[in-house]
Amino acid sequence: MLAGDRAFSRILERKTAFVAHVAAYVPGRFFERELPPLRAVLAGVAGIELLVIDGYVDLAPDGRPGLGALVHADLGVPVVGVAKTFFVTATHAVPVVRGRAARPLYVTAAGMLAADAAELVRRMSGTFRMPDALREVDALARGRGQPSMN
Protein backbone atom coordinates (compact mmCIF):
# COMPACT_ATOMS: atom_id res chain seq x y z
CA MET A 1 0.00 0.00 0.00
CA LEU A 2 1.48 3.33 -1.06
CA ALA A 3 0.51 6.39 0.97
CA GLY A 4 0.80 10.09 0.22
CA ASP A 5 1.49 11.06 3.84
CA ARG A 6 3.12 9.66 6.97
CA ALA A 7 -0.23 9.24 8.72
CA PHE A 8 -1.22 6.88 5.89
CA SER A 9 -4.51 8.72 5.57
CA ARG A 10 -4.17 9.22 1.79
CA ILE A 11 -3.72 5.84 0.13
CA LEU A 12 -2.42 6.31 -3.41
CA GLU A 13 -2.10 2.70 -4.53
CA ARG A 14 -2.68 -0.87 -3.40
CA LYS A 15 -0.57 -3.67 -4.78
CA THR A 16 -0.46 -7.40 -4.16
CA ALA A 17 1.67 -10.22 -5.50
CA PHE A 18 1.12 -13.95 -5.40
CA VAL A 19 3.98 -16.11 -4.14
CA ALA A 20 3.28 -19.79 -4.70
CA HIS A 21 5.46 -21.24 -1.96
CA VAL A 22 6.35 -19.65 1.37
CA ALA A 23 8.29 -21.07 4.28
CA ALA A 24 6.49 -22.38 7.34
CA TYR A 25 6.26 -20.07 10.34
CA VAL A 26 9.15 -20.52 12.79
CA PRO A 27 9.23 -18.31 15.93
CA GLY A 28 12.06 -15.79 15.66
CA ARG A 29 12.44 -16.45 11.92
CA PHE A 30 9.28 -14.71 10.69
CA PHE A 31 11.34 -13.06 7.94
CA GLU A 32 11.86 -16.39 6.15
CA ARG A 33 8.11 -16.56 5.58
CA GLU A 34 7.41 -12.86 4.98
CA LEU A 35 10.46 -11.51 3.12
CA PRO A 36 9.87 -13.21 -0.28
CA PRO A 37 6.26 -11.93 -0.60
CA LEU A 38 7.33 -8.46 0.54
CA ARG A 39 10.09 -8.40 -2.07
CA ALA A 40 7.54 -9.50 -4.70
CA VAL A 41 5.15 -6.68 -3.78
CA LEU A 42 7.91 -4.07 -3.78
CA ALA A 43 9.41 -5.18 -7.11
CA GLY A 44 9.21 -2.28 -9.55
CA VAL A 45 8.09 0.26 -6.94
CA ALA A 46 10.30 3.35 -7.08
CA GLY A 47 10.71 6.26 -4.70
CA ILE A 48 10.03 4.47 -1.41
CA GLU A 49 10.90 6.86 1.43
CA LEU A 50 9.60 4.88 4.39
CA LEU A 51 8.29 1.38 4.92
CA VAL A 52 5.98 0.32 7.74
CA ILE A 53 5.73 -3.42 8.29
CA ASP A 54 3.65 -5.73 10.45
CA GLY A 55 6.41 -7.32 12.53
CA TYR A 56 9.71 -6.50 14.20
CA VAL A 57 12.67 -4.70 12.68
CA ASP A 58 15.05 -6.42 15.07
CA LEU A 59 14.36 -9.06 17.68
CA ALA A 60 16.71 -7.99 20.47
CA PRO A 61 18.53 -4.86 21.67
CA ASP A 62 21.78 -6.28 20.27
CA GLY A 63 20.35 -5.94 16.76
CA ARG A 64 19.38 -9.57 16.05
CA PRO A 65 17.75 -8.96 12.66
CA GLY A 66 14.08 -9.45 12.03
CA LEU A 67 12.05 -8.84 8.89
CA GLY A 68 12.42 -5.06 9.07
CA ALA A 69 16.21 -5.11 9.44
CA LEU A 70 16.53 -7.27 6.34
CA VAL A 71 14.22 -4.98 4.37
CA HIS A 72 16.15 -1.95 5.60
CA ALA A 73 19.41 -3.57 4.42
CA ASP A 74 17.83 -4.37 1.02
CA LEU A 75 16.23 -0.97 0.37
CA GLY A 76 18.27 1.45 2.47
CA VAL A 77 15.14 3.31 3.60
CA PRO A 78 13.80 3.77 7.13
CA VAL A 79 11.68 0.83 8.24
CA VAL A 80 9.19 0.91 11.10
CA GLY A 81 8.09 -2.39 12.58
CA VAL A 82 4.69 -2.66 14.26
CA ALA A 83 4.13 -5.92 16.13
CA LYS A 84 0.88 -6.99 17.77
CA THR A 85 2.49 -9.41 20.20
CA PHE A 86 5.50 -9.07 22.46
CA PHE A 87 8.54 -11.11 21.47
CA VAL A 88 10.42 -12.16 24.61
CA THR A 89 13.85 -10.89 23.49
CA ALA A 90 12.53 -7.61 22.04
CA THR A 91 12.93 -5.68 25.29
CA HIS A 92 13.91 -2.57 23.31
CA ALA A 93 10.56 -2.34 21.48
CA VAL A 94 8.61 0.81 22.31
CA PRO A 95 5.07 0.04 23.50
CA VAL A 96 2.43 2.22 21.82
CA VAL A 97 -1.19 2.30 22.95
CA ARG A 98 -3.64 3.58 20.36
CA GLY A 99 -7.29 4.46 20.70
CA ARG A 100 -9.04 2.77 23.60
CA ALA A 101 -6.94 -0.39 23.39
CA ALA A 102 -5.68 -1.94 26.60
CA ARG A 103 -2.82 -3.79 24.89
CA PRO A 104 0.06 -1.95 23.23
CA LEU A 105 1.63 -2.42 19.85
CA TYR A 106 5.40 -2.93 19.91
CA VAL A 107 7.40 -0.59 17.67
CA THR A 108 10.96 -1.05 16.45
CA ALA A 109 12.83 0.83 13.74
CA ALA A 110 15.87 1.00 11.49
CA GLY A 111 17.02 4.20 9.83
CA MET A 112 15.19 6.39 12.35
CA LEU A 113 14.95 6.72 16.11
CA ALA A 114 12.59 4.27 17.80
CA ALA A 115 10.90 7.14 19.65
CA ASP A 116 10.16 8.87 16.33
CA ALA A 117 8.85 5.62 14.87
CA ALA A 118 6.59 5.13 17.91
CA GLU A 119 5.19 8.63 17.47
CA LEU A 120 4.60 7.97 13.76
CA VAL A 121 2.61 4.82 14.65
CA ARG A 122 0.71 6.69 17.37
CA ARG A 123 -0.36 9.30 14.77
CA MET A 124 -1.23 6.91 11.94
CA SER A 125 -4.76 7.16 10.65
CA GLY A 126 -7.45 5.17 12.45
CA THR A 127 -9.08 4.97 15.84
CA PHE A 128 -8.37 1.30 16.59
CA ARG A 129 -5.35 -0.42 18.11
CA MET A 130 -3.98 -1.22 14.65
CA PRO A 131 -3.64 1.71 12.25
CA ASP A 132 -6.14 1.56 9.38
CA ALA A 133 -3.43 1.07 6.74
CA LEU A 134 -1.98 -1.96 8.51
CA ARG A 135 -5.44 -3.45 8.99
CA GLU A 136 -6.10 -3.01 5.27
CA VAL A 137 -2.74 -4.50 4.29
CA ASP A 138 -3.54 -7.51 6.46
CA ALA A 139 -6.89 -7.90 4.68
CA LEU A 140 -5.20 -7.63 1.27
CA ALA A 141 -2.62 -10.22 2.26
CA ARG A 142 -5.40 -12.59 3.28
CA GLY A 143 -7.25 -12.03 -0.01
CA ARG A 144 -10.10 -10.06 1.58
CA GLY A 145 -9.39 -6.72 -0.10
CA GLN A 146 -9.29 -5.42 -3.62
CA PRO A 147 -5.91 -4.15 -4.84
CA SER A 148 -5.92 -1.51 -7.54
CA MET A 149 -2.93 -3.16 -9.22
CA ASN A 150 -1.54 -6.72 -9.39
CB 131 within 8 A of CB 84: no
Residue 97: alpha-carbon gap to chain centroid: 16
- Encode the chain (150 residues) as per-residue pLDDT tens digits: 889 899 999 988 888 888 888 888 887 677 788 888 888 999 888 899 999 999 899 999 998 998 899 999 989 999 999 999 999 999 999 999 999 999 999 999 999 999 999 999 999 999 999 999 999 988 887 776 665 443
Q: What is the set of domains in the chain, with CATH numbers?
A: 2-141 (3.30.2170.10)
- Measure the CA–CA gap between 40 and 3, rounded to whole angstroms: 18
Q: What is the pTM of this model?
A: 0.87
CB within 8 Å of 143: residues ≥ 6 apart = none
Work out the angle at residue 108's Cα, subtended by the Cα atoms of residues 104 and 113, and round it to the nearest 5 degrees: 120
Neighbours of 119 (CB within 10 A): 14
- Give the pLDDT score at 149: 44
Instruction: State residue 80's pLDDT score.
Output: 98
